[in-house]
A and B are shown apart, each in its own frame.
Chain A
C-alpha cells in the first residue's frame, strides 16, 4: 500500500492540507454536514409549525371527500369524490391541454418557421412580425388577452356569432356540432386500423423492392387512398351510422353540440401561439443549418425540388430541430400551469385548491412537483426515441 503511493509520487510538500483527495473529502463532509443539519432544522421547524397549526401530515387526506366542484371533468367527478380523484382530474386536464397545445403549436410553428424562409418578401415579413411580437410578451398576458380581451367581450348567447358548419361562438365559448356514432360504427374504426396496417406494409414492401430493383412505387398516394378509402367504404357499407348533434339556440343558452369553454380555448390559443413563435425560430435555424452544398449536391444527382426537401434537407434539419423542440414541448407543458390564472382546472389549480382546503402545503407542493417531473420525463423519453430514430447513424 505504502509502496504504491511512493511509486505514484508522494507530494513533495508533505503537508496533507495540499492533498487534493483529502481536501475533496473534507469539503464533501462539510457539505453533507451542512445539508443534513439544515434539513434537520427545516424538518424540526415544519413538524413544530404543523403541530401548532393542528395540521395532520401524511397522505391520508387524499381519501377524504373533496367537497369542491371542477368545471371540466374528463372522468366522472362530483364534489363527493375524493381529493385523490380531484387531483387525477387535474392531471388529466393538464395532459389534455398539453397535448392539444403541442399539436397546435407544432403546426403553427412549422408554418411560420417555413414562412420566415420563404422566397416571398411579404410572407417573410408577416412571419417575422408574428415571431417578434409573441416571443417578447409574457405568456400569461397572452392568456389574459384572449380571455378578458377577446372572448369575454363576444356577444351573449342570444346573439351568438354563426360560423360555418353549424358552429357558434359567444362569450360562453365555442360550440361545435358533435358527431354521434350509431351502432356499427366500430366497423369504421376497424377499417381505419386495417388501412394503417396495410399502408405500413405497402411502404415496407416498396422500400424493399426499391432497394432490390431500384423501381419506385407511389407509396404516398396508395397510403392516402387506403387510409381514406377503406373507412369511407366501411362507412357506406355499415349504413352511414353517423349523425351530428348540432348546437341549438334556446332562449338563454345554446344546448347540444360540443362545447369548448372559453378558459380552455384561451389557454390553448395563448400557449400554442406563444410557443409557436419559439418553434418557428427553431425550425428556421434547423433548415438554415443544412448547408447549401447538400441541396446543390442533391440537385446534381438529378433530384427534383420535392425529393430534395423530403430526402435530403428535412431529415438533416430534423436532427438540429428535435432537441430544442423537445425543450419547447416541456416549456409548453410547464406553462400550462398558468391555467390557474383564468380558472381552468389543471393540476396546479386543483392541487392549489386542495392545498388551501386541507392546509397540507408540504404534501400538495410535493405532489405537484412529482407530477410535473414525471410529465417532463415522459415527454423527454418520447422525444428521445424520436431523436434516436432521426440521429445520424455513423457507419
Chain B
C-alpha cells in the first residue's frame, strides 16, 4: 500500500486580501459615519440643512457682500438709508474696523507715540515664542526676562515720563493694549499671590489658614463686576485724603485679586496631587518649610497644573472685557464706544465691530487652549506606563 502523504504545509504567508468594497473607501466611511441607521440619516439630513442654511449666509455676509474700505458710513448703508449700496443689501462693514483699527489696538494713545506699545509687543512676542517652544534652552533666563524684566521695561516705555519719553496718562490707553496689558500684568501678579494663598490654605497655622479660606471663598462667590465695583468705588475710600489711585491701577488690583483666588484653587489642586512621600522626604532631608516648598513640592505641583493655570489665564483674558463697566476701554469697550460715532452709525456696524473683536479674542483664547492641551500631552508622557 503506497503511502500518500496528504499533509501539506504552507511555506509562505498568504497575502492579505483587500477588505470588501463595502468596508473601505469613501463609501464605507459615509455609511459608517453619516447613514449608519435611520436615525443617523435623519440627523445627517438635518445637519446638512443647518449647514446649507447658515454657511452661505455667513460667507455672503462676511466676504462676498462685505465692504472692506471706505471713508464713512455711506459705503455701508443702502440707498434708502442714505448710502451707496442697493436696497436690501446686508454685508459686513469691515471698512468700519479698517478705519478704527488704530483705536481698536491702542485706544487714544497719541499717534506719534504708538511705536512704544508696538515695541513692547515685539519684545513680548520675541520673549514669548522661545518660552513656548520646549526645545529652546535657557528657560530660566527666558522666564526671568519675560516676567520680571519685560514688565519693568514695558512700564517705563508705556507710561513714559522718563528718558525723554513724553508721559502718556492711562486714560488714553485703550483697545487691545489695555486687554493684553491688564491680563498679562494680572497673571504676573496673581500667580505668586495664588501660590501664597494656596500654601496658606494648606498651612497648619489655623489663623493663616482661615484667613486664606475666607478670602478665596468670598472672592470666588461673587461676580467680577462686584470686585471691580469694590476696586473702583471702595478703594479710594480706603486711602487717606489726597492719595489716589489711577483708574487703570484700580482695575488691575480688582482683576488681580479676583484671578488670585481662582489661581489659588488651581494650585491647591496641584499641591494635593503631590504624594505625601515627597513632603516627608523633604522633611527627612532636614529642609525648612520654604526650602521644602520651593525646591521639592512647588516645582512638581506647578508643572502638574500648567493646563489649569492657562485656563485661568484664558478666563482672565475674557474677563478683562468687564472693565468696560467701570468705564475703561479695552478692545470690546472701544468697539462699543464707536457704535456712537455718527460717521459710522449703520445697521451693520455693531455686528461687524463685535465680530472682529470676537475673532481677536477667539484667536487668543483658542491658541492658548490648544497650547495648553499640547503641554498637557507633553508633560503627561512621563507618567504613562
Contacts and interface: CB of A to CB of B under 8 A. Distances in A.
Contacts of B347: 153
A75 interface: no
Given A119-B33, A140-B332, A348-B225, A148 B354 contact: yes
A179 B224 CA distance: 39
B365 interface: yes
Given A24-B204, A120-B36, A348-B226, A140 B324 contact: yes
Nearest to B364: A136
A335 B237 contact: no
Interface stretch (B122-130, B135-143, B215-223): B215-223
A309 to B, nearest CB: 14
Contact of B354 (A52, A149, A355): A149
B233 interface: yes
A149 B350 CA distance: 5
B372 to A, nearest CB: 12
A145 B47 contact: no
A149 B347 CA distance: 8
B342 to A, nearest CB: 16
A112 to B, nearest CB: 13
Given A152-B350, A348-B223, A49 B47 contact: no
B362 A133 contact: yes
Contacts of A35: 211
A338 B44 CA distance: 37
A365 B207 contact: no
B343 to A, nearest CB: 17
Contact of B223 (A48, A52, A335): A335
Nearest to B219: A369
Contacts of A32: 207
B295 interface: no
B76 to A, nearest CB: 12
B118 interface: no
A364 B229 CA distance: 10
Contacts of B332: 138, 140-141, 144
Interface stretch (A65-73, A121-129, A318-326): A121-129
A150 B358 CA distance: 15
Given A141-B321, A334-B222, A362-B237, A126 B351 contact: no
Interface in B212-256: 218, 221-226, 229-230, 233-234, 236-241
A298 interface: no
A187 interface: no
Contact of A137 (B32, B239, B358): B358
A348 B32 CA distance: 51
Contact of B44 (A24, A28, A122, A135): A122
B116 interface: no
Given A119-B36, A337-B225, A373-B218, A141 B357 contact: yes
A369 B222 CA distance: 6
Contacts of B239: 45
A362 B237 CA distance: 9
Contacts of A122: 33-34, 43-44, 47-48, 51
Which of A133, A137, A348, A368 has most B Cβ within 10 Å? Answer: A137
A106 B224 CA distance: 23
Say what secondary structure dominates the interface of chain B.
helix
B276 to A, nearest CB: 18
A139 B321 CA distance: 9
Interface in B104-139: none
B208 A138 contact: no
A100 interface: no
Contacts of B48: 122
B13 interface: no
Contact of B33 (A46, A120, A133, A148): A120
A238 interface: no
B72 interface: no
A135 B366 CA distance: 9
B362 A137 contact: yes
B78 interface: no
A365 B226 contact: yes
Interface in B327-379: 332, 336, 339, 347-348, 350-351, 354-355, 357-358, 361-362, 365-366, 369
A133 B240 CA distance: 46
A28 to B, nearest CB: 4
Nearest to A149: B351
Contact of A120 (B34, B204, B221, B351): B34
Interface in B32-63: 32-34, 36, 40, 43-44, 47-48, 50-51
B85 to A, nearest CB: 15
Contacts of A133: 362
B350 A153 contact: yes
B350 A334 contact: no
Contacts of B324: 140, 341
A42 interface: yes
Contacts of A144: 332, 336, 350, 354
Given A42-B238, A46-B237, A31 B211 contact: yes
Nearest to A153: B347
B33 A121 contact: yes
A46 B240 CA distance: 8
A121 B34 contact: yes
B1 interface: no
A27 interface: yes
The 10 closest A-B CB pairs, nearest first, are A136-B365, A121-B33, A149-B351, A148-B350, A122-B47, A334-B223, A337-B223, A138-B318, A361-B233, A138-B321
Interface of B: 32-34, 36, 40, 43-44, 47-48, 50-51, 204-208, 211, 218, 221-226, 229-230, 233-234, 236-241, 314, 318-319, 321-322, 324-325, 332, 336, 339, 347-348, 350-351, 354-355, 357-358, 361-362, 365-366, 369
29 contacts: A27-B205, A28-B208, A118-B43, A120-B44, A126-B50, A135-B365, A137-B358, A137-B361, A138-B318, A140-B321, A140-B324, A141-B361, A144-B350, A144-B354, A148-B350, A149-B351, A149-B354, A153-B350, A334-B222, A334-B224, A337-B225, A340-B225, A348-B223, A361-B237, A364-B233, A365-B230, A369-B222, A373-B218, A377-B221
Given A140-B322, A376-B221, 7 more contacts: A28-B207, A120-B34, A136-B366, A139-B318, A140-B332, A330-B221, A348-B229
